[in-house]
C-alpha cells in the first residue's frame, strides 16, 4: 500500500480521488478546510506550512503520492492564492517526504480554463513566486468588475500548468525521481459547478466556452482515474505533462494549434 496526501478531499474531485485510493487499499491523508484528516486553510502561507508539517508527521515522514485538488473558481483575488500558491507552496513543503519514498509521484489539477483569456501579468507574478504582487494584480483586476474579474481563475490555472512544466524537469523533482504532472478537466459535475449547470442559461454559457463532443459533462471519477494513474508507481516516465481529460474540449478549441 502507498500513502497519499490529497487536498480538497472533502468534496468533488478530491473526495472521489481519495475514495478511489482507499478502495484499492491505499492510505489517504486528506487536507481540507473541514472534514479531513488535516484541517487547514491553503489560502495562507501559515496554513500551507502547518498542513504540510502535520501531513508529513501523520505519514511518518514518507509520502508516496501527493494529489492537489483543492481550489475555488470565484472571481476574487483569493482564488489565485488557493489555486496557485496553495498548490506550489504545499508541494514544495511536502517534497522532502516525497523524496524519501521509493516511487514518489505528484499531480495537480489545472483546467481547460487555462487556455482561456488570462492576465499575463498575474501569471508571471505567480510564476515569480511573488504572492503579494500577484494578489495586488488580482485585486486590481477584480476591481474592474465581473467581466474582467473572471480572469483570476483562468490565470491561476494557466500559472499552475506552467509551473508544473517548469518544475517537473528540475533536479528537485525529476532529479529526485518524483514524477510531477497535471490534469486539465473540462466541465466536471461537482459542487463547484452545480449552480452553473442547474439553469439552461448557465449550461449554454459553459458549453459555449468548453465544448465537450465526447460524452459531455464529466463525472469526478473520470478525473480521479487519471490522477490515480499519474501518481501510481507504474507511471515511470510521464513528467511535466498537462493531460486534457475534457471530452475533447482542448482538441475542439485548439485543433492544430499545438
d(CA 196, CA 157): 19
Choose between 73 and 118: whose C-beta lies nearer to ligand NAI.
Answer: 73
The yes or no reply on residue 243 touching ligand NAI (CB under 6 A) is no
The yes or no reply on residue 227 touching ligand NAI (CB under 6 A) is no
The yes or no reply on residue 73 touching ligand NAI (CB under 6 A) is yes
Q: Is the sign of the CA dihedral 12, 13, 14, 17 positive or negative?
A: positive
The yes or no reply on residue 42 touching ligand NAI (CB under 6 A) is yes
CB of 218 to ligand NAI, least distance (A): 8
Looking only at residues 191 through 210 of this chain, which bind ligand NAI when binding is defined by CB under 6 A?
191-193
d(CA 179, CA 116): 27
Binding string, residues 18-37; x marks residues near ligand NAI by CB under 6 A: --------------xx----
> Has 153 been annotated as catalytic?
yes
Dihedral (Cα; 223, 225, 231, 235), 10-degree rounding:
-120
Catalytic amino acids?
A: 153
Q: List residues near ligand NAI by CB under 6 A.
A: 8, 10-14, 32-33, 41-43, 69-73, 82-83, 109, 111, 185, 187-188, 190-193
Amino acid at each position: 500500500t502507498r500513502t497519499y496526501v490529497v487536498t480538497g478531499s472533502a468534496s468533488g474531485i478530491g473526495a472521489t480521488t481519495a475514495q478511489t485510493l482507499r478502495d484499492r487499499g491505499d492510505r489517504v491523508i486528506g487536507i481540507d478546510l473541514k472534514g479531513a484528516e488535516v484541517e487547514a486553510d491553503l489560502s495562507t502561507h501559515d496554513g500551507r506550512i502547518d498542513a504540510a508539517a502535520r501531513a508529513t508527521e501523520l505519514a511518518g515522514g514518507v509520502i508516496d503520492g501527493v494529489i492537489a485538488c483543492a481550489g475555488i473558481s470565484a472571481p476574487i483575488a483569493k482564488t489565485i492564492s488557493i489555486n496557485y500558491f496553495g498548490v506550489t507552496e504545499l508541494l514544495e513543503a511536502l517534497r522532502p517526504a516525497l523524496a524519501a519514498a521509493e516511487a514518489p509521484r505528484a499531480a495537480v489539477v489545472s483546467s481547460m480554463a487555462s487556455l482561456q483569456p488570462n492576465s499575463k501579468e498575474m501569471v508571471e507574478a505567480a510564476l515569480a513566486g511573488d504572492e503579494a504582487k500577484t494578489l495586488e494584480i488580482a485585486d486590481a483586476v477584480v476591481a474592474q468588475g465581473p467581466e474582467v474579474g473572471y480572469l483570476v481563475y483562468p490565470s491561476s490555472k494557466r500559472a499552475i500548468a506552467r509551473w508544473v512544466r517548469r518544475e517537473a524537469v528540475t533536479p528537485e523533482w525529476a532529479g529526485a525521481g518524483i514524477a510531477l504532472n497535471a490534469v486539465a478537466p473540462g466541465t466536471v459535475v461537482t459542487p463547484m459547478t452545480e449552480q452553473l449547470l442547474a439553469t439552461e442559461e448557465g449550461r449554454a454559457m459553459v458549453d459555449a466556452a468548453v465544448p465537450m463532443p465526447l460524452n459531455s459533462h464529466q463525472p469526478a471519477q473520470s478525473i480521479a482515474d487519471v490522477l490515480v494513474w499519474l501518481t501510481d508507481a507504474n507511471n515511470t516516465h510521464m513528467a511535466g505533462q498537462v493531460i486534457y481529460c475534457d471530452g475533447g474540449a482542448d482538441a475542439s478549441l485548439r485543433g492544430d494549434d499545438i
